[in-house]
Structure 1
Amino acid sequence: MFFGGDPFEHFAGMHGGNGGGGSRRSGVAARDVDTTKLYETLGVDKNASEKEIKTAYRKLAVKHHPDKGGDEHKFKEVSAAYEVLSDKEKRSKYDKYGLEGLGDEGGGGGGPDDLFSMFFGGSRGGRSAGPRKSENINHPLKVSLEDLYNGKTAKIAINRQVIVGESKMCTACDGQGVVVELRQIALGMVQQLQRRCAECGGQGYCATRKKERKILEVHVEKGMQHNQKITFRGMSDEKPNMEAGDINFIIQEKEHDLFKRKGADLLITKTLSLNEALCGFEWMIEHLDGREIAIKSRPGEVIKPEASSSHPFVKIVPNEGMPSHGNPFIKGNLYVLFRVEFPLDGELTKKKVYELKKLLPRPAMDISYDEEKVEVVHLEQADVKNFGKGGAVNHNNDDSDDDEEGPGQVQCQQS
C-alpha cells in the first residue's frame, strides 16, 4: 500500500468443525457451531428481547451471587453470557459464528479460549482461531472547516496489493515464517540461530500478487471532528492466509482564518473601538456555509474590556456553531470574544475630554490642594515584568557573608 499503518491481531475462528486456519468467516458460518449455550445459561429463548435478557440476568445474578451463598462458577457463567447477549454487535456475532466468532471480544474481559473453558470445560485444543488480519492503513485527510460544516465527498485513488490465485504454505519454513540454523562455534559447541524465512518474507505462506488501483469515495459527514476515522473495511493489502486489513482516513482539520472550533462551538475574536463598545456596533461576517450574517449590539448595550480578572468578555450567537455529527440539525453556539481598543496618547483634545466627562458616568472629581505643599507627579509607560528591579544595583549584595562581619557580631582576640 502507498501509505503506512498500525498492525493488530483479529481472531475469527469458529467453534466446531475441522476447518483449517486459512478459512474466512464466510466459510465458518456454514460450520456446525453452538449458538445456543449462552441463551440456555440465562434460561431465555434465542428470540428474547433485551428487556427479557436483562430480567433473566438480574434474577440469576442474585440467586448465584457468591456473597449470598451462590455458586461462584455459575455466577461467572451468567455474567459472561449477559455481557455478550446484552451487546447487539457481540450478540449478532455469536448468533452467526458461536463463541469463536467473538474473537478477542469475549465476555468477562477474556478471549474465546476463556469462554470455551467456562462453558465447555476446556480450551479448543488444536482447533485454529482462524485467520489473522493484516495491517490497518492510516492515511491523514486534510479537510477545511467549511467542508466539515457542509459535508463533502472526496474521491481518492489507492494502490493495493491483491493475491492472484491460491496461497500455498511455504515449504522452506513449513509455514512457520522462520527457519532455524545450527552453526558450530567451537569444538562440541553448536549455536542455534533463528531468522525470518526469505522465501515467504516471514509470513509462512507464498502467493502471487499484483497491484490493483481502486477509487474510494470518502464521505466527510457534517460535524465530523479532528482525528475522527472514516473506515473502509478489508481494503488494505492482501496477505497470504490473512484477512485484509482496513484503510482508515484520519480527519485532519485545517486552521481557519476567522473561526476557531471546539466541539460543536465556534469562536471569533472582535476588536471594538471605545466608541463602538459604549455606543453600539454592527459588523458583517460570512459564515462557513456562505451566508452573510450581520452581528449587531442591542440599544444601550455596553461591551466591557473584560468580564472579570483575567477573563475576557464573551457573548454568544445561539445555534450558529457547527452541526453535531450524527444530528446535523442541532448546532452549537457561535462565541464572540471582545477586545476593546482604547484611544492612543494624544488623540483626545481638551474639548473632547470635557465633553466626555459630561457624558460618561463617574467623572474624575476635582480636588483642592496647596501646590506649594503637595508634590504633583505624572505617570509613564511601564512593564510589570520589571517589578522588583528598580533602584541602584548593589554589587556588595553578591559578597559572601564569610567575607564580612554582620551587624552585632563580636570578634574574639586571643593573646
Structure 2
Amino acid sequence: MVKDTKYYDILEVNPQAGENDLKKAYRKLALKYHPDKNPAAGDKFKEISHAYEVLSDPQKREIYDRYGEEGLLGDGSGGMGGMNAEDIFSQFFGGSMFGGGSSRGNTGPRKGKDLVHSLKVSLEDLYKGKTSKLALQKNIMCPKCDGRGGREGAVKQCSTCNGTGHKTVTRQMGPMIQRFQTICPECNGEGEQIRDKDRCKECKGKKTINERKVLSVYIDRGMKEGQKIVFNGEGDQGPNIIPGDVIFVLEQKEHHSFKRRDDDLYTVIKIDLITSLAGGKAFLQHLDDRYLEINILPGECIKPGEIKVVEGQGMPSYRHHDHGNLYIRFEVEFPRPHFISDPSNFSILEKILPPRTEQRIPSNAITEEVIINDVDPMQEARAEGAAKGGRGANGMAEDCDDDNAPPGVSCAHQ
C-alpha cells in the first residue's frame, strides 16, 4: 500500500497504474494544460510534469510509495524540483507541440534580458517632439566565426555531458537515493569543447563581441514622464538567445516657468497695477518660442493670485490633434512706496477707485494711534516664518505663498 496518493491523483490514475497508463495520462493532461495552449495553467502544468517525472522513474516511485513526498526531499525531486517541466514535455513529445519550443537546454532559444535606460527630456522636447541620437554598447554574434567560437568543424559537443553543460550525480545513502547536478568539469558548463589553437582570434571563443550601436530615438509630441520607447530585438545577442529589447524610459526635467499635469500647463505671469485695473497686454513665451499676446480688458481688475485659462494652449495630446489648456496665475506688482509726488493726485484716485470700506468699531472701544515702520528683510522673514508655523529652512519663510496656486503650480518669474 502506498503512503501518499497525491501524485497519482494529479495524473488521475490509481496507484497500481503501469508504465503505459502513466504515459497515456501524462500525454492527455500535458496537452490540455500546456502554457502555450492554456496560459493560465502554468502551475498546473508544472504539477503534472513533476508527478510524471517521479512516477515514471522506478527508483523514485518506489521511494515515493514507501515514504511519500518527504522521502524525495533528499534526491532533488521534492518540492517541484528535478527536471524542468518543459524539458520533460519536450523529451516525451520530441519537441514543442505548439511551435514555441522549450526555454531550457537544447530545446530552443530563450529570450534575452531587456536593456532599460533613463532618458532625460525637457518640456520643450515633449511639446515640439525631437529625435535624439543615442549610442550604447551591446553584444553581437561574432561576425568572424559566425558565433561558433572557433573555426568551422572545430567546435565539438562535450562527450561527458552530451552538450548539456552539467552532470547528474547519483549517490546511495542507505534507503535513500540522492541525485544532484553539477557543472561539467570537462567543458566548464559550456556544453562544447574547442581546442585553444582553434579558437576564434576575434572573440576568443566567447562567440560574441562588443559593438557600439547608435539608435535614433524619436520623442513624439505629447509624450509623458515615464513613457517607454521600445526598440524590439536590439538587446544583447548570444548563442541560443533571442535578443531582448532596448527600452528608454522618459524622465522629464523640471521647467523654470511651466508645470505640467496630464495635457494641461500651468504658469505664473506678473503684471503691474495699472494693467490689472485699466487693462493692457501681457506677453508669454510658449514652449515652441511663440509669444502669446494676453489681452486684459479695461476694468477687468485682475486680482493678485487670480487664475485664468487659455483653452487649447496646453500640451498636445499624444497621437491626437487636440491640446490641453493653459492655466495662468496672475501676480500683481504694486508700485513702489511714495510713487505719487503730488498729494493732490490722491484726490483723483479717490474719485476713480471704489469708495473706501467703512470700518466700524464699538462706540466705547479704546483706541490708540500707532505708526508702522519698515523692517529689514531678515526680520520680515522671521516674522512670516513664525506666522506660518516655522515653515521654511531654519524658520525662514518661503519666497512665495503657493496656497492660492492651481495644482502643480509654484511661483515662477517671466
TM-score, length of structure 2 as denominator length: 0.52
- Are residues 1:246 and 2:245 paired? yes
Q: 1:386 deviation in Å?
A: 4.0
User: Does the CA contact (< 8 Å) of 2:131 and 2:217 recur in 1?
Assistant: yes
- Are residues 1:144 and 2:122 paired? yes
Partner of 1:330: 322
Q: Which amino acid aligns with 1:319?
A: G
List per-residue Cα deviations over 1:300-323 (Å, max 9, x = no partner). Answer: 2121123xxxxxx21111001111
Instruction: Let me know the Cα RMSD of the aligned residues.
Output: 4.5
User: Does the CA contact (< 8 Å) of 1:203 and 1:240 recur in 2?
Assistant: no
Partner of 2:136: 158
Partner of 2:263: 264
Q: 1:342 to 1:114 in 2, by over 3 A?
A: farther
Can you give the 5+ residue segments of structure 2 that lack an aligned partner in the other structure? Answer: 1-27, 54-84, 91-101, 150-154, 170-179, 193-204, 390-414
List per-residue Cα deviations over 1:248-306 (Å, max 9, x = no partner). Answer: 12223233343222221112211122222222131223333343321111342121123
Partner of 1:315: 308
Partner of 1:13: none
Q: 1:170 deviation in Å?
A: 7.3
Q: 1:177 to 1:144 in 2, by over 3 A?
A: farther
User: Does the CA contact (< 8 Å) of 1:162 and 1:209 recur in 2?
Assistant: yes
Q: How many residues align?
A: 269
Q: 1:194 to 1:384 in 2, by over 3 A?
A: farther
Partner of 2:36: 100
CA distance in 2, matches of 1:150, 1:199: 59
- Give matches, 1:353-392, under 5 Å: 353-363=346-356, 365=358, 374-380=367-373, 383-386=383-386
- Are residues 1:301 and 2:300 paired? yes
- Give matches, 1:281-292, under 5 Å: 281-292=280-291
CA distance in 2, matches of 1:220, 1:139: 14
Q: 1:195 to 1:360 in 2, by over 3 A?
A: farther
User: Does the CA contact (< 8 Å) of 2:265 and 2:315 recur in 1?
Assistant: yes
Partner of 2:214: 215
User: Does the CA contact (< 8 Å) of 1:134 and 1:243 recur in 2?
Assistant: yes
Identity %: 35
Q: 1:358 deviation in Å?
A: 2.1
Q: 1:135 to 1:300 in 2, by over 3 A?
A: same
Q: 1:387 to 1:215 in 2, by over 3 A?
A: closer
User: Does the CA contact (< 8 Å) of 1:162 and 1:237 recur in 2?
Assistant: yes
- SS of the equivalent of 1:215 reads strand
- SS of the equivalent of 2:229 reads strand
- SS of the equivalent of 1:355 reads helix
Aligned with 2:336 (options 344, 348, 352): 344
Partner of 2:42: 111
Q: 1:346 to 1:260 in 2, by over 3 A?
A: same
Can you give the 5+ residue segments of structure 1 that lack an aligned partner in the other structure? Answer: 1-33, 39-76, 78-97, 182-192, 307-312, 390-415
List per-residue Cα deviations over 1:319-376 (Å, max 9, x = no partner). Answer: 011111121x110011111112223333344334332222211315599999xx8531
Q: Which amino acid aligns with 1:258?
A: S
User: Does the CA contact (< 8 Å) of 1:277 and 1:303 recur in 2?
Assistant: yes
Q: Which amino acid aligns with 2:347?
A: Y
Q: 1:356 to 1:194 in 2, by over 3 A?
A: farther
Q: 1:231 deviation in Å?
A: 0.6
List per-residue Cα deviations over 1:78-110 (Å, max 9, x = no partner). Answer: xxxxxxxxxxxxxxxxxxxx94278xxx33xx5
Q: 1:174 deviation in Å?
A: 7.4
Q: Which amino acid aligns with 2:42?
A: G
CA distance in 2, matches of 1:275, 1:200: 86
User: Does the CA contact (< 8 Å) of 1:99 and 1:115 recur in 2?
Assistant: no
